[in-house]
Amino acid sequence: MTAAEFLRPEAWLGQDTGPRYVQLRRRLQDGIERGILPPNSSLPPEREIAEITDLSRVTVRKAIQELVREGLVEQRQGSGSFIREPVPRVEQSLSHLTSFTEDMRQRGFDTTSTWLERGIFMPSADEVRALGLQPGEQVARIHRLREAGGRPMALERAALPLDILPNPIEVSTSLYAVLDRLGHRPMRAVQKIAAVNLDAHEAGLLRVAEGAAGLNIERVSYLASGRVVELTRSLYRGDAYDFVAELRL
Ligand code: 16G
């Protein structure tokens, strides 16, 4: 079935409740999910959709804008709207302490990092407090854009005491693999999760629209002795992260 055939209004318009732009958005979304509008293909131009559906261009634009906001469609300057490749979703168990590399490997994705900062710094007040640093003590800090299957997933900023990670440059792929080697692999962690809207800089790095939904995850990890190993702030794309929690009576 071609996109034009799929959009013919007799099959769907008016059969559903809600404003017409919502009905069109649902139809387009359905087409994306069913592969009639496959990833990386272009969406028919606004004018063409308006003609096929007999809806106004304002209505069509509104429907497309919703799909852009939801991350299903991407507008490329000068060449129209395209269906985005779905991002791999991280399914993170809330009961297992795993690393990003492990989480992604389990799902069959290779990971890469773009380094934004890696070195030894004077700590911020938050880092002093969370890591229990002494006055004048410095921290190892790594800040990276984390990608899986070639797609940006999260911005992650980790801070560790220097005796836990004396040489941050040593971390080339997995922080937890290095900590494991050093005998400092965390055994327990406490995570705090909050919803945020990504600012222009963050959204640009994560390749989503400014203001898109994100998840701010703060993790404090501990050694078996109870000592704090890391303070990490991860900013995940909202469309890339699922929590899985097992609940028992
Ligand atoms: C995860 C952890 C982060 C940890 C990192 C290590 C969350 C929210 N955070 O991203 O605290 O530093 O894994 O990953 O899951 P790596 O070993 O792949 O560098």
Give distance in angstroms: CA of 100 to centre of ligand 1: 5
How far lies 98's CA from each of 36, 59, 170, 188, in Å? 37, 45, 20, 10
pTM for this prediction:
0.74
Q: Specify the pLDDT at position 241.
A: 79
**Which residues of the chain are in CATH 1.10.10.10 domains?**
3-83
pLDDT surpassing 90 at residue 1: no
Greatest mean pLDDT range, 28-42, 106-120, 166-180: 166-180
Question: How would you classify residue 132: left for phi > 0, otherwise alpha for psi between -120 and 50, otherwise beta?
Answer: left
Fold of the 3-83 domain: Arc Repressor Mutant, subunit A (1.10.10)
Mean pLDDT of the chain: 91
What is the dotted CATH code of the domain comprising 90-244? 3.40.1410.10
The pLDDT confidence band at residue 190, using thresholds 50, 70 and 90, is very high
So what's the pLDDT on residue 68? 87
Are the beta carbons of 124 and 130 closer than 8 angstroms? no
Locate the ligand 1 atom nearest the alpha carbon of residue 234 and give its number. 8
Cα–ligand 1 centroid distance for 14 (angstroms): 48
Residues with CB under 6 A from ligand 1: 92, 99-101, 156, 158, 174-177, 217, 219, 230, 232, 234
| C-alpha of residue 249 to centroid of ligand 1, in Å | 30
What are the start and end residues of each CATH 3.40.1410.10 domain in the chain?
A: 90-244
